[in-house]
Each structure stands twice: as C-alpha cells, then as structure tokens.
Structure 1
C-alpha cells in the first residue's frame, strides 16, 4: 500500500506500461505561479490524447524554475503534451522512481 499522497506503482494504460518522469523548465526573468497554473490546465486538457497524466508541478517564481511530475508511457509522449498544450517544452526530462 502506498502512503497518502503517493502515486503508487506505475499503472498500465491500455496494455502500455507507464513510468514516472520529472521535467524541468528554466524561464529567464522568473515566472508567475498563476501562469504556470494556466499552462498546467492546458496540459490536463491535452494529456488524454497521448496517454499521459500530469500529476503535480512545483514553481520557484523568482528563479524561474518549474518542475512537472508526469505519468507517461515514455518521455516523448510527455514532451508532446507540453508542446501541443502551450509550447513550453522542458529543458530536461528524467525517468524517476518514487521514494518515501
């Protein structure tokens, strides 16, 4: 059993094994949390077309850093969602394993 707030084991979506990815964006000049919230909503509206689930995000407004946690069949599917939803493609994306 996973602890509260955890994502648990990667689910299978239509026979496709899902994995967790963390992406990172660097925005010159900083970023507003409200703008990131709007971009995240666009991700949520787009994600089903690619078999992806954007789960959470974190923002450091002053440093212009955004981190997104996504459940996806592969990194490219996660990238396609950002590209189509709002064009803000991550600078890096890494497969991650959830810890406690």
Structure 2
C-alpha cells in the first residue's frame, strides 16, 4: 500500500505567509497591528500561533492576515525604491 502526500491548503497558506514575513523581516507584532486595524478579529497570540502552525483559523481571518502581510510587504518595497528623475519610484516585481 503506497501513501500519497497531499498538501493541506490551510497549512500551505500559513507557511507561505510566514515565509513572506521572514523574507521581508516583518515582525509578527507589526503584522498583528496592521491586521487588527483592518478589522481582524483575533488577538496577537492567536495570530502568532497560526503563523507557527499551532492553530487553525477561519478562511476570512487567514486571508486578512495574508492581506496585512502583503500590504506591509508592498509598503516596505516602495520605501526601499530609489526615485527616478521623473519622480517615479521603483516598483517591486515579487
């Protein structure tokens, strides 16, 4: 009998979200604050536990955390861009 390995999309989402945070050096507390300001409904402890794969969250909360990370990631990228003479800044293509 052979075993097949199936990836749980919920687990993949938290792992990829956490990876994006680490690549951009975004602390969990900053993610939680942004998430909470967007209307997120769980506390910082639960967000941290989710990002480490210790608890499951409803789809809406997971997506809100991902949105917070994406917005912080985009903001960080824009801050690091150097301006051109036209006044435009570099945009990330990540």
TM-score class normalised by the smaller sequence: 0.3 to 0.5
The alignment's TM-score, normalised by the length of structure 2, stands at 0.34
Greater strand proportion: 1
TM-score, normalised relative to structure 1: 0.33
User: Higher helix share goes to which structure?
Assistant: 2
